[in-house]
Structure 1
């Protein structure tokens, strides 16, 4: 069949205007909440926001229309042309417009979102999109096989609605593992994150394995043989997928470090997302000035690297002596870079330290870099920060600041130790 004739006769052409209109109406109304997260120039964040909302729709369209096409072929007796063209060729031709429509429901909103957020596509974002497109093909093949087997008109809405609900409602179940088999990734994709190979393989194994099993039912071999092989394949893929995800929590495993970053300076080397590279010079100056103030006070402030916390939001890396993790982006936006850097120089040997001494230490360090008021504003959100507590901190640190630098360091070391003392023992 000629391509234009195939398209004109396909149900996808008649459904396309309604499906695209509904998808873009949803995009313009409800999808905005998920797109408000700052992608930091990382396209996987944007692509994931679109996919988490539209994948159930694309799957339902693919499976429902594929079932309709298979039922229509069965009713027209076209399967009798198998001597001229194989069933696989016929199925592929009639599935092409359906899959193309399902792909359009994902690709077009994704392009709009990338343009809206002014984010260029990158490898992680294209990986997520390609993953979703493969799943659409698998759902279409399964729907086609069901429609070819059950030719009653009711099979079309049943399989479409079942597909939509099975995928969409999986994230609301208390049991975690079903959601990891649908292709929907719970929790927003943070900067630099990407599902691990296992997280991508689990839904692919189930969907693609089921699609291959359905296709095997048309193989030119014994009915019992192809049925046995197809059944064994479905069971094996289902068991393999479940074994991968059975012990996962709500959010599946993710790898990090995929986002583009920019670094500048030496000792310390400042690293931020590439989208914030224009601020790196100002951040470097602020960080170097802060470290110099801390060193003049006698504190050991000699980090070799300072990384923005946005590089690892979900799995934050604790600061070490040489590598500090600091919310530079938050500091730059609120004018508190010096305070954010200064906090990292304080190191308690216990967690959590006693509140009273710890507050004195943080207020003293903040005072040394000229941002004492920033720390007080932070404390004002805590319920136990009363006017009496404010006076205690301000008066106590004011007395310390009148001492010599050597005596201030003695006080600092003593107070840090006191914050971890319990029954006279430092933990």
Structure 2
């Protein structure tokens, strides 16, 4: 049976449809570039909405840069709000980098810059000139989100100089960023300060946490709370530090105490390896969430239950889960300090290869915390699982066995697999 042919509505009807209705329909195509491209050629009035979605986020390659430089394509520039720069820019003469700097300065509505896998990035004088003196509002004041992933800087000073160029950052993400030991233009004791008055989201992952935090808030070096020094404390609402060494617990504790009630979303994880060093274990006690009374979500990373070579823990599960030197003790120790009455979601990022490994966690202590009065509003309990197959139903049963009847009247359990 052939497909039915549907005639289009007559013009005298379609011309009466409110433009807002067309916009709403086109908005639903935001993740379909091919459909948006097709719609952009149907009706001139649809073109701005299609361009809004097609060019809101772009990967700035040499080919696309050439496209933007064409006079015929200048109308696209106002729609670009996020730019992604991948590795591969640059030539021996630095000509393409200069072109890149100048092009970024011309993107009048650019709000987010993400850099991926850039082998070496130096803060050239031309870059500072473009960001500070671009036409209209300079890029240094326009950019509100900076995301650095796997970017190498010649020195920490170069990294600080680059980030501090932007005065209105609301989001800063530093992931897999490295720096050399080369002495840069600025001495370490004279690093340019970062304007943090509007900074709301901070993520530091797969790189050293301490130097970045102490550069942003040097007052924390003394271990004192910034408010005690009569300075304006940071107002972060989102903080993600998924990879912290135990000996950095003191600094983390000072930061969390300083953030106080402003913090609403926290991601945290300790790279603990079950050391017998009591000093390392005592560091967990310095991380106190009782000061963060407005917390709404918390995510625990680095719950790595997988062991190689594989061992079956079923016979020693009780002893392992209650061992005071356990590498997983920090999970219950830290969650047990929660005093916020607004917690809606708790997430655990778990790596395992067999059900028996789950018994390395002290489930009785964890359930006791989840049922405590501070978590009375808990609605979602999420487990993001890595290191095992894709049978979600089977793995979900493993978790339900350990929670028993707790979930029937409490939070909704969600189990998902991550790469």
- TM-score between both structures, scaled by the size of structure 2: 0.22
Bigger CA radius of gyration: 1
Query: As a proportion of its length, which structure holds more helix?
Result: 1
